[in-house]
Structure 1
Amino acid sequence: MRYVVLAAGFDGTLARDGRCDERCIDVLRELSATGRKLILVTGRELRRLLEVFPEARLFDYIVAENGAVLHRTATRQSEILGQAPPEILLQELRRRRISPLSVGSSIISTTAEHLDVVRASLRKLKLHMDYELVMNDDSLLILPPGIDKASGMNEALRELGVSRHNLVAIGNAENDLPMLAWAEHAVVVSNAAESVKQAADRVTDGAYCDGFLELARDLMATDLASSVPRRRVLLGTSEDDREITLSPCRDSVLITGPDEVARALICNRLLEQLMQQDYQCCVIGADRNVPVASPRGAFANMSSWGDAHEAPRLTDVLAALEPPTHSIEINLAALPVETRPVFVDALLLQLQALHDRTGRPHCILIHRAHHFLTGNQAAAAIRRLSEVTMIYSTAAANELPPRVLDDVKLTIATGTGTNDPPAESGESAQAQAVIAGGAVCRISLFRPSAGSTSVTSADEATVSGY
């Protein structure tokens, strides 16, 4: 299961004129029964929301006041995430006779007609740089610094231990935009304004509850298998300027060729782009001459398990993967060669169980894959990890199980041919960069010269499959 969390707005999405359709309530129960977590994200104050929608307790978390309040429904505990409204601002708004005026734990709300007066008040008090004004249908929200629907929702995700890349969000209003931008898949109901629809990956055919039901049924039936990926990793550009991209959590990659240095550099490039976007990666290898990770940049949030003297333990590996943005590198050098495939088989089964529960890891990279994936058990586990980006680096692709190769969507080949000797460090590898249709794709590979860590050359690689 890839999308393990659903976040939904209330007014204009679940509710019309403040009332939620009974059909939505029934489907929320069905969604919860699938094991998915539910987050209700609303601009309303918590007390007023529960007055009109007591069924909100079907959700695991309620993010109220447009992200300023986090409510845990299981314990009925609330946490204020934003600063309280300054009394001087409240006095100024009352002096200007702004009515209605609702004051929550952190936000202030009124009607949209008072926008100019509120702006003038903030400028007078020199607070206009600190507070943000957001429209929510006919309401005007005055938000404290750092508060929006995405910030509150992200706090709920942190407590759940779930990545934003396993989140689908649905909304309808301008104040939903930060939430929609943060989610892996953003859905907008058809009654939304055109400016909000432009930020969505999908606009439902139905409005209000009908639109939500449309998404919920697709989520339960297919886990949004037909959804168009929002985020992509750029690999290169063909001679006709067509971008060659990888869809995270969907496409699998084979990196092959005799030059292990070049293969490792391509892997680093892919890993760096994935980790910069907070995708969780798991790297498996042993006895490699080229380190996969650098202590700087995107690789700073990656830990290593195992070395040439001590084998990693599965319990430690799985514990390290619990934080949703933390990636790991597993070194099996201490294991006898004949037992390494057995360890990888067991690891893949555990990763499959983790993925079923959390939708992670998002990427599994295996160096010298033909040494580790030798039997049907590994191929079967990989098949069940269909929503994980698998990256196989190998000099002997023909030794991989056919069932593994069947799932490869993209092939990157380094060197002029499989029989060519590896290039010396610092040399430029030769390649015929050809993709489907005869176009040429150029991928920049940066290789340091011998004894140096500086970039000295850019190479090309063959890409096929797209």
Structure 2
Amino acid sequence: MAAPLAYALIATDLDGTLLRGDDTLSDRSKAVLERATAAGAQHLVVTGRPAPRTRPLLDDLGSRGLAVCGQGAQVYDAGADRLLFSVTLDRELAETALGKIEAEVGQVYAAVDQDGVDGLTLIEPGYLMPHPTLPAVRVERRDDLWCEPISKVLLRHHALSDDELAAVAREAVGSLATVTMSGPGTVELQPLGVTKATGLALAAEYLGLARTSTIAFGDMPNDIPMFRWAAHGVAMANAHPELKAVADEVTTSNEDDGIAVVLERLFS
């Protein structure tokens, strides 16, 4: 009889966690994920990227199953190329939230991820994509951001740090939306109450797996709810201090195959 799996569900963030800085997956990481799935574990990508920006990476992984996208606002079925679950951010609330933030810190620059499997990322004048490899469409004015349903708003400020902007945004926005910080230059507004844990819990239910059998890997404060939901949270060496503070374990960096280091130990 085969030994029981230490963790039946492996939840991994992408940027700064599973992926290297050049957006590639190392052969070592890919090999150990294949070994874990061959042993019976499920690998679940849990990312802030919307489904259309996640799909090419799932193809590279050979994944035809589920993925949690959009900071938990989307559960995406890669095999069927459809959303099993999707929550949108009310566009009037989003516009009001932006106004409240700008009343505190002056002009911010905004982008939005549209809802749907073919949704676009729209960026207003002055917004610089923190991830230059991700495709985006520049619009002429802010009003153009609200032309279709959206899953979230991305914010940048010319002078404030991410931590400073996130703190001001949380205070200003209040109960209008959830504020997260998911990477360098990436402060986001998403539907109130929606986090990575929301999508992860729903995907785990679809898969028939429990939080007690889940190990999660991440690098930024937006991964905190996922760590609190999972049985074991592993922060990368390059992780934000807020995430390291709640992690059960800290591994090596994403550039040094930190996920593989842990999974090789568990799936030897």
| TM-score by shorter chain over 0.5 | yes
* Superposition RMSD in Å: 2.9
Query: Separation in 1 of the partners of 2:13 and 2:258?
Result: 12
The answer to whether the Cα contact below 8 Å between 2:221 and 2:243 also exists between their aligned partners in 1 is yes
Letter in 2 for 1:108: V
Listed as ranges, the gaps of 5+ residues in structure 1 are 222-466
Q: Quote how far apart the aligned CAs of 1:12 are.
A: 0.5
The answer to whether the Cα contact below 8 Å between 1:189 and 1:211 also exists between their aligned partners in 2 is yes
Q: How many residues align?
A: 218
Out of 106, 113, 127, the position equivalent to 1:103 is: 113
Listed as ranges, the gaps of 5+ residues in structure 2 are 116-150
Which residue number in structure 1 is paired with residue 51 of structure 2? Answer: 46
Which residue number in structure 2 is paired with residue 193 of structure 1? Answer: 240
The answer to whether the Cα contact below 8 Å between 1:40 and 1:59 also exists between their aligned partners in 2 is no
Normalised to the residue count of structure 2, the TM-score between the two structures is 0.71
Letter in 1 for 2:223: D
**Matches for 1:4-403 after TM superposition, within 5 Å:** 4-23=8-27, 24-51=29-56, 54-58=59-63, 60-87=65-92, 89-90=94-95, 93=98, 98-105=108-115, 106-111=151-156, 113=160, 116=165, 123=172, 128-138=174-184, 139-208=186-255, 210-221=257-268
Q: Quote how far apart the aligned CAs of 1:98 are.
A: 3.8
Query: Structure 1 residues 194, 21: closer, same or farther in 2, change over 3 A?
Result: same
| TM-superposition CA deviations, 1:220-268 (whole Å, max 9, x none) | 12xxxxxxxxxxxxxxxxxxxxxxxxxxxxxxxxxxxxxxxxxxxxxxx
- The structure whose residues are more often helix, as a share, is 2
- Bigger CA drift: 109-118 or 62-71? 109-118
SS at match of 2:228: helix
Q: Quote how far apart the aligned CAs of 1:56 are.
A: 4.6
Query: Structure 1 residues 102, 220: closer, same or farther in 2, change over 3 A?
Result: same
Normalised to the residue count of structure 1, the TM-score between the two structures is 0.42
The answer to whether the Cα contact below 8 Å between 1:6 and 1:168 also exists between their aligned partners in 2 is yes
Compare CA radii of gyration and give the structure with the larger one.
1
The answer to whether the Cα contact below 8 Å between 1:65 and 1:107 also exists between their aligned partners in 2 is yes
Q: Quote how far apart the aligned CAs of 1:82 are.
A: 2.1
Higher RCO structure, 1 or 2 (CA under 8 Å, sep 6+): 2
| TM-superposition CA deviations, 1:24-74 (whole Å, max 9, x none) | 223322222111111100011111223466325526321001000001223
The answer to whether the Cα contact below 8 Å between 1:65 and 1:104 also exists between their aligned partners in 2 is no
Letter in 2 for 1:109: L
Letter in 2 for 1:162: L
Query: Structure 1 residues 111, 57: closer, same or farther in 2, change over 3 A?
Result: farther
Q: How many percent of aligned residue pairs carry the same amino acid?
A: 24
